[in-house]
Structure 1
Amino acid sequence: MRTIAELAGVSSATVSRVINGSAAVREATAERVRQVIREQRFFPNTSAITLKYGRSGTYGVILPDITNPFFPDFVRNFEAVLLERNLELLLATTDFRTARIQQSIRRMLVRRVDGVAFLSSEEERESFAALVHNRVPVVTADMRKIAPGVSDVAVDFEKGMTVAVRHLYELGHREIAFVGGNSGLKTSDVRRSSFVEALRGAGLKVREELLVAGDYRIDGGVAAAASILEVKRRPTAIMTANDLTAIGVLRELHRQGVRVPEQMSLIGCDDIEFCDIVSPPLTTLRIPRPELAQLYIKALEAGRDVSRTGKQYWLEPTLVVRSSTGRAPKPARGDRKK
C-alpha cells in the first residue's frame, strides 16, 4: 500500500479508503489510485484486513440442494448485490444432511464471515448458537422464529396457497391433491399446513390420502404422482411444494397417459426457468429471487449486533398462470352420485 501511495502521490490512508470503497475520496484521485493498483497488479491481503477491522467483507450462504435450479438462481442474485458493495460470497451445501450442516458452519467460522444466510430446511438451533456466539448474525429461511442474532425471511405461503387454490376452485376443481417436501422439516410443514388451510378456506374437504410427502426432487414427484393415481377417487388437480416435484409429477402423468390439463391440472412452486420449457408450461407460485436476495442482505446488515433480537421479514409469492391448469373434467356418469 505504501508503494501504491508513493506512485499515486497520495497517502496510505487514501489508498486504504479507495480499496474499501469510501466516498470520502474525490473521484479523480480514486481513479488515479485504481489505475496504479491495476498497473502494479496489487491485491489486498484480505486476512490482514479481517484482523485489522474485525470484518472479512464476506457473507456465507448455506443451501440444501445445489441441483435445484431455484438455489443457483438465488445465489446469482445474492452475489450480484454483494459485488455492487465490494463484498464476497462463501457458498456451502448440505444435501439435507445434518453432518454437512455442521461442517458448513465450521467453514464459515474459520473464514470469519460477517453473516450467514441459512437457506437449508433443517432447524439447527445449536449450530446457530455457535455462529451467534462468535458474533456472526444468522438469517434463516421459513423457520418463522427469531432470537438474539437470528432473523428469518419467510415466504407467505398462506397467501400464496390461498391464491392457487382459489384459481383451481374457479376452474371447477373440488378434489385437489398436494405433494409436499421431506417429512419433519419445518419448511415442509409450513407448505403443507398452508395448503390444508387454503382448502378449508375454500370450503373443500381435506382428504388425507391426497396429502403425499415428496423430497423436493423430480424422483419424489414421480413416486408421489404414482401413489395419488392409485387412489379410488382420483383428484382433478395436484399442487406441489416446489417445481422440481411438479416436473416429476408431470413426468408420471405423461407416463400413465393422463392428459394435462384436460384430465389433471398441476401447479408448482418457485417458478424456475424449466417451468416455461416443460410441456405443457407449468402454472406455479413465483418466489422472486432478486427480492429474496435483497431481503436476506438487508436482514444480515440489520442484524450485525447479535445481542439484539433479530427481525421477521416476509415475501409474498405470486401466481403465474400457464398451460398446466384448466377447467376440471366433468365426472363420469358412474361418479356423479358419489
Structure 2
Amino acid sequence: MKMPEISPICAVKPTDARAARNNSMKSKGQGGRGATVHDVAKLANVSIATVSRVLNKPDTVNKEMSERVLQAAAQLGYTTNSAGKALRLARTRTIGTLLPRLDDPIFSELAHGIQETLFAQDYAGFLQTSGYDNTKIFDAALRLFNRGAEGLLVFGRVEDDRLLEFIAKNPIPVLQVYSYLEGHPLPSVGIDNARCTRKIAELMLQFGHTHVALISGPTQGNDRQQSRLDTYEKIMRDNGLETIVQVVQPGYTINDGGMAFRRIMEQNPKVTSVMCNTDLLACGVLSECRKLGIEVPKQLSVSGFEDVSFAPLLYQPLTTLSVPAGDIGRHAARAMIANLEHGESLTSMQFEASLILRDSVAVAPKASGRAA
C-alpha cells in the first residue's frame, strides 16, 4: 500500500522536554515562588475551597465564579498538582487530545490513529471534546493539563487567546493536527485545506459547471471550514461566477446537509453542481436528490470532502478528497512522544489529500439549468 506523500515544510524551535519541565519551576506566583492555589484564590477574590471546586468539580460552581478562577489560574500560570508533577519529571506518560466531537467518522479515524500509537508506546491518551469553535477551548485544555497531560494535540488551529497565553507561560508542548497551518506560531501536522478545495472546484469547472454551490459546516473558530469557504469564493470570483453558499449550524447532521441543499435549489434552481465541505453533508444532499427525483450525476454533480468509509458505498459512490486522517494521527502521536522522551523538535508537516473521482460527478448538462 502506497504511503501518503508528506513533505517537511518548516522546523519549529525545538522544545526540549526535560528542560521544559525543569523550566516550569520558574513559573512565578507571588513573592517569586511558583504560583499556588492561595495565589489564585487571592487574585480571583474567592476562597481556596472555591478554587478547588472550580478545578476539580466545575459543575458545582456558577459560570461567573468559574470564569474568574480560571482566568486567574491562567494569568498566574497555575496548574493543579497532577499537571505540576508531570512537568516536574513525575511522569504521567499521558497525552491529551482535543476533538470537536466523536460521532463524525473523520474525528474517530484520527483519534484511532493517535490512540493506537500511544498504546504501542506505553502512553495513555485523554480524549476531550471541545466543539467546533477553537476560540473557546481553553477550559477543555486546562482540564486535560490538570489531570496530568504532558502534551496536547488540538484538532485544527488554536485560536483561543487564553490558551495561547497559557502555553506561552507554561512549557507544555502543543501540536495542531489535521490542518497544516503555515505561519502559525505553533507547529501543525495535516492537510492544506485551501489547496484541497481548489482541486474539487477546478474539477467542477473543467467539467463545464458554471452554477456551483457550496454547503459548509460552521465557520466560527473553525479553520477547516473557513479555509474551504474562502477558497471556493475566490475561485468563483476569479472565474466570474456567482457564489452560492449555505452554512449549516454546529452539531450538524446528514439531514442538515439535505435541508441546506433544498434551500439552494429553491433559491438557485440553475445549480448543476454542489460541493460539500464534508462527506456527511454530501450524504445528505444525495439523499435529498432521491426524494426530489434529481438524477446524480446526470442532472446534478455532488462532491464531498474527507473520503470516510461509507463514501464509496453510497447509491452514487461519492467523489471526494481522501484525507489520510489515521496517518496524520499516528504521525502526530509519534512526534509528541519523541518530543517528550528525547526533546526532539515538534516540526510542521504537510500531508497530501488525493482527489477521488467517483460516479457522483460528471460533465455539466448541456442545457441551461438541469437536464430534463
TM-score, length basis structure 1: 0.73
Selected match of 1:214 from 235, 241, 248: 248
- The equivalent residue for 1:108 is 144
The partner residue of 2:294 within 258, 270, 273 is 258
Moved more, 310-319 or 248-257: 310-319
Alignment-derived partner of residue 233 in structure 2: 196
CA drift of 1:242 comes to 0.9
Check the 8 A contact 1:236/1:329 in 2, yes or no.
Answer: yes
* 1:72-87 aligned within 5 A: 72-87=108-123
* Partner-residue secondary structure (3-state), 1:61: strand
Counterpart residue number, 1:62: 98
* Structure 2 SS opposite 1:229: helix
Alignment of 1:118-133 (within 5 A): 118-119=154-155, 123-133=159-169
Pick aligned residue for 1:227 from 263, 279, 299: 263
Are positions 1:247 and 2:249 aligned together? no
RMSD between aligned residues: 3.3
Superposed, 1:291-330 pairs within 5 Å as: 291-301=327-337, 311-330=347-366
Q: 1:146 corresponds to which residue? A: 184
Deviations along 1:228-287, one digit per CA (max 9) or x if unpaired, are 101244221111111111112222222222111111111100111121222111111111
Identical pairs, percent: 23
SS for the counterpart of 1:273 is: coil
For residue 304 of structure 1, report the CA deviation from its aligned partner.
5.5
CA pair 81-161 structure 1, distance change in 2 beyond 3 A: same
- Assess, with a 3 A threshold, how the Cα gap between structure 1 residues 196 and 271 changes in structure 2: closer, same or farther: same
Q: Aligned partners of 1:120 and 1:167: how far apart in 2?
A: 26
Residue 309 of structure 1, CA deviation: 9.8
Cα 1:311–1:173 shift into 2, 3 Å:
same
Q: Deviations over 1:25-53 (max 9, x none)?
A: xxxxxxxxxxxxxxxxxxxxx99x95873
Q: Does 1:274 align with 2:310?
A: yes
Name the counterpart of 1:40: none
Judged with a 3 Å threshold, the aligned counterparts in structure 2 of structure 1 residues 205 and 231 are, in CA distance, closer, same or farther, namely farther
Number of residue pairs matched by the alignment: 284
Which deviates the most, 258-267 or 323-332? 323-332
Name the CA distance, whole Å, in 1 between partners of 2:151 and 2:265: 45
Equivalent of residue 240 in structure 2, options 202, 205, 209 = 205
Which residue is 1:166 aligned to? 202
Please say if residues 60 and 117 of structure 1, whose CA atoms lie closer than 8 Å, have aligned partners that are also in contact: yes
Corresponding residue for residue 17 of structure 1:
none
More RCO (CA 8 Å, sep 6+): 2
In structure 1, the residue corresponding to 2:304 is in which secondary structure?
Answer: strand
Q: Which amino acid aligns with 1:75?
A: A
User: Alignment partner of 2:111: what SS?
Assistant: helix
**Secondary structure of the corresponding residue to residue 285 of structure 1:** strand
Cα shift at 1:308: 12
- Relative distance call for 1:247 and 1:88 in structure 2 (3 A) is same
Q: CA deviation at 1:102?
A: 3.6
Aligned pairs for 1:84-95 (under 5 A) are 84-95=120-131
Could you list the per-position Cα deviations for residues 112-163 of structure 1 after superposition, in whole angstroms to 9, with x for gaps in the alignment?
212111115672131243245332111224355532xx32234212322222
Q: For 1:37-52, what aligned pairs fall within 5 Å after superposition?
A: 50=86
Q: What secondary structure does 1:225 align onto?
A: helix
- Residue 214 of structure 1: how far off its partner (Å): 2.3
Which amino acid is the alignment partner of residue 152 of structure 1? S
After superposition, what is the alpha-carbon deviation per residue over 1:45-90, rounded to whole angstroms, capped at 9, x for unaligned? x99x958734321111111021111111111111122222221111
Q: Do structure 1's residue 187 and structure 2's residue 224 form an aligned pair?
A: yes
